Amino acid sequence: MWVAGGWAGAQPAAAWCIVQVGDSLPDIKLDQLEDGEIKQVSLKQLFSNKKGILFGVPGAFTPGCSKTHLPGYVADREKLREAGAEVVVCVSVNDPFVVGAWGEAHNAGGKIVMLADTRVRGLGASGMNDVVAWRSCLPTRSHGRCAAFSAVVEDGVIKSLNLEEGGGMTCSLSNQILSQLKQ
């Protein structure tokens, strides 16, 4: 529900940001389904003293994300590890049960950390002229979906960032970020 200053329950406008290369990851907690229980995971802590990949998708079980994005990262996990990725994290604006089931359906267990931004904590929302516009600590697009993106993160700092334009699926794919990971 929209209230003066933002959506009820969302972060204050001052906390919203768009991350850029060189920025530290925002200290947000996202949901992960583990052994049937939902636990809160600090995005910043996941990358503390580690090098890895953070990627976001518009939605679990959507055609492009299910045919290309997640399967690519699962298939390329060993190559990504050899190139230095200690952790690979996927974020989607779905509930943790859906994100968990999606990861399970694609054999992501032990390879990809599957996180849900259920309450749009990382992807805070604001209203503008009765049209929902999404502002984000992570890249987003309209209608509350996460934009397809990928980033190399080292010790909590964004080293490279790839944001898809217009629903494309090129620069955020696992094979595209591999060369950036080696830098």
Domain ranges of the chain: 23-182
Selected residue with higher pLDDT from 168 and 10: 168
CATH 3.40.50.720 corresponds to the domain 23-182: no
What is the distance between the alpha carbons of residues 145 and 162, in angstroms, rounded to a whole number? 16
Tens digit of pLDDT for each residue in 143-167?
A: 455 667 889 999 999 899 888 776 6
Tens digit of pLDDT for each residue in 32-83?
A: 999 999 999 998 899 999 999 998 887 888 877 778 889 999 999 999 999 9
What is the distance between the alpha carbons of residues 38 and 73, in angstroms, rounded to a whole number? 23
Q: Which of 17, 65, 146, 171 is labelled catalytic?
A: 65
Q: 150: which DSSP letter? A: E
Question: Are 19 and 161 a contacting pair, CB within 8 Å?
Answer: yes
Q: What is the pTM of this model?
A: 0.79
Closest of 133, 134, 102 to residue 115, by C-alpha: 102
Pairing relationship of beta strands 140-141 and 131-134 according to DSSP bridges: unpaired
Question: Are 123 and 140 a contacting pair, CB within 8 Å?
Answer: yes
- 17 among known catalytic residues: no
Q: What is the pLDDT, as a whole number, of residue 145? A: 58
Percent over 70 (pLDDT), the chain: 72
